[in-house]
Amino acid sequence: MPSYSDKVLDHFMNPRNVGEVENPDGVGEVGNPVCGDMMRFTIKVEDGRIADVKYKTFGCGAAIAVSSMVSELALGRTLEEAKQLTREKVAEELGGLPPNKMHCSNLGAEALLEAITDYETKQKGPEGEQGCKCPFCEEFFKDALGDQCTGCGAKITYCEECGQPLPKGAKECPNCAEKERVAA
């Protein structure tokens, strides 16, 4: 039986950030068919930072500990910082992993990267073009400065301060309200 550090055991016995982010901005799923480990990461992004991250893991104790550690390391980081998380960094933060379990730390970093890539792809829209996602029908439309969604025809209202489209029924911009709350 492999020898695990106290940190690995703690993250296995008391995993952090388990579950699914509601209405995630990005989703990443990876698996290793040889060992059977599967990881699904969901993220919420605000102001270029990972504001929330959750995961579901099917696998061994090391896979669960890795998912927990990756979620902690990613939370609050910028997307660029989170992309730099490597299997070695994850294993180091856990106090090491047995050589036959290093693939688990690779899966955790890969699943997070997949979620970030999914988010970035959605932000670019079809064929990498910049645009806007309609807050009513969730469809991408090219004319980000227009006042009508080309998909559903809804009239789009934009925040005067930050320029982001306002969600359906919103009386104030959730992005600006969050910035004011954090600044206070």
Instruction: Return the active site residues.
Output: 35, 104
Closest C-alpha to 125, from 140, 114, 136:
140
Torsion of CA 87, 91, 94, 100, to 10 degrees: 120
DSSP string, 68-105: HHHHHHHTT-BHHHHHT--HHHHHHHTT---GGGHHHH
- Taking CA 16 as the corner, what is the angle to CA 57 and CA 50, rounded to the nearest 5 degrees? 90
Longest dimension (CA), the chain: 62
Instruction: Indicate the length of the chain as a whole number.
Output: 184
